[in-house]
Amino acid sequence: MPGASAAQQYGDQARLRRDADAITALGVTGVQARLVTSDGRNLTATSGVADLTTRRQVSSNGYFRIASVTKAFVATVILQLAGDGRLSLDDTVERWLPGVVSGNGNDGRAITIRQLLQHTSGIHDDYPDYTSAEDFYQHRYDTYTPEQIVARAMRHRPDFRPGTDWRYSNTGYVLLGMVIQRVTGHPWHEEVRDRIVRPLGLKHTFWPGTSPTLPRPHASSYQRFKPGEPLVDVTEQVGPFAGGEAGLVSTTADLNRFFGALLGGRLLPPAQLAQMKQTIPVSKEFEPLMPGARDGLGLFSRPLSCGGVYWGHEGGDSGWISAAGVTADGRRSVTVSMSGTIADSTDDVLRITRAESKLVDDALCSTPNADGKTD
């Protein structure tokens, strides 16, 4: 019914705008969100400002660093290679990267590719991070090779025996990028480009390499390194991710298209998509950030308030937080990007992540009633 469709669109748009405003009310500088409905409509909402000095408006299709959302792209390439028979998820890390994971109790012979994908390898994370404004200004153009990042982790004993627990590991996905290069002869980001970005027409998704700037339009991002200190504009940086796994830049429209295609079965054979969706619980320490989350292979599932689950990933780095979610059939998707996420305490972080989760849940749960109203 045309009336029902118009009413639903109005309700979806109003809800998206309301939830974006709720996030900026918590102190986030700027928010952009985009919902793709089951019938292919794009609805957008923005809130806050893109720059604290000029007070310019947030773009509804601005570029942003997607940080760990990149893990879903890396995992997709690994599963494509498994589907092609070029590797097995049960291959050991040692099989492809001999001698790389060793020392201090670390043993690549005991860790599988599946465990890297699902954060059950036990490899300790020692990822470079900025500790102060001075540290940021001194090191924001530094880069690290994947080998250097892995070597940092190897200075530590494992957090647990492989396969016996769960702990989020950026280093595990750096290793997966190295596996992709060993198997294909090409860097992970080139395989992502050729296997995902170009086939799907993701014209605004790319790996920036060592460039510290973002294309226009983009919002500025801010960080306060300690409570009470001034805000620091952290928009311009290379960061340690240039040589690691979490390096893609994208837009809300492109991420919605990617996750819709992934869950819609257009990127993986059914067997590999089914493996990607085999989940385990996350740790008790991680669960407050993503209540009800279960971890698959490069994807998290989260319960929906209207029943069932959605799939997606989140990412955060230097004042940026992004989250993408898609219904199980891939037909309805939403992506939100927050810039200038200023959190001075754990409670601040929890409030912001809850508001972000509410936006995703509201966007994916909206369905028309018989009278044309929306839930």
pLDDT digits (tens, 9 = 90+) for 314-361: 998 878 899 999 999 999 999 999 999 887 788 988 999 999 999 999
CA distances from 364 to 66, 123, 210, 332 (A): 21, 35, 36, 6
- pLDDT over 90 for what percent of the chain? 83
- Asked whether residue 240 carries a pLDDT value surpassing 70, the answer given is no
Phi then psi for 323, rounded to 5 degrees? -150, 140
pLDDT tens profile 252-290: 999 999 999 999 999 999 999 999 999 999 999 999 999
From the CB of residue 191, how many other CB atoms can be counted at a distance below 10 Å? 24
Asked if residue 371 is part of any domain, the answer here is: no
Active site residue 68: yes
User: Is 367 or 131 the better-scoring residue by pLDDT?
Assistant: 131
Confidence tier at 128 by pLDDT (50, 70, 90): confident
Asked if residue 373 is part of any domain, the answer here is: no
Furthest-apart CA atoms within the chain: distance in Å: 66
- Cα radius of gyration rounded to whole Å, the chain: 20
Of 59, 68, 121, 322, which one is the catalytic site residue? 68
Give, in degrees to the nearest 5, the angle at Cα 201 between 170 and 67. 20
Confidence tier at 239 by pLDDT (50, 70, 90): low
Amino acid (one-letter) located at 309 = V
Positions of E strands within the chain: 30-36, 42-48, 64-65, 102-103, 106-107, 222-223, 232-233, 249-250, 280-281, 294-295, 300-303, 309-317, 320-327, 333-339
The CATH number given to whatever domain includes residue 113 is 3.40.710.10
- Report the run of H or E that residue 53 belongs to, with start and end: none
Asked if residue 108 is part of any domain, the answer here is: yes
Average pLDDT value for residue range 7-32: 93
From the CB of residue 35, how many other CB atoms can be counted at a distance below 10 Å? 26
Number of domains in the chain: 1
Supply the range of the domain harboring residue 307.
Answer: 2-365
Asked if residue 304 is part of any domain, the answer here is: yes
- pLDDT over 70 for what percent of the chain? 94
Q: Compute the Cα dihedral for 264, 266, 271, 276 and give only its sign.
A: negative
Average pLDDT value for residue range 184-194: 97
pLDDT tens profile 199-210: 999 999 999 988
Residues 6+ apart with CB under 8 A from 328: 263, 308, 309, 310, 311
Question: What pLDDT does residue 374 have?
Answer: 37
Give, in degrees to the nearest 5, the angle at Cα 64 between 62 and 65. 170
Amino acid (one-letter) located at 274 = A
Asked if residue 168 is part of any domain, the answer here is: yes
Average pLDDT value for residue range 62-87: 96
Confidence tier at 312 by pLDDT (50, 70, 90): very high
Question: What pLDDT does residue 284 have?
Answer: 94
CA distances from 300 to 7, 199, 294 (A): 31, 24, 6
Question: What pLDDT does residue 66 have?
Answer: 94
Phi then psi for 348, rounded to 5 degrees? -60, -45
Asked if residue 177 is part of any domain, the answer here is: yes
Question: What pLDDT does residue 245 have?
Answer: 52
Asked if residue 375 is part of any domain, the answer here is: no
Asked if residue 94 is part of any domain, the answer here is: yes
CA–CA separation, 159 and 167 (whole Å): 8
Question: What pLDDT does residue 366 have?
Answer: 77
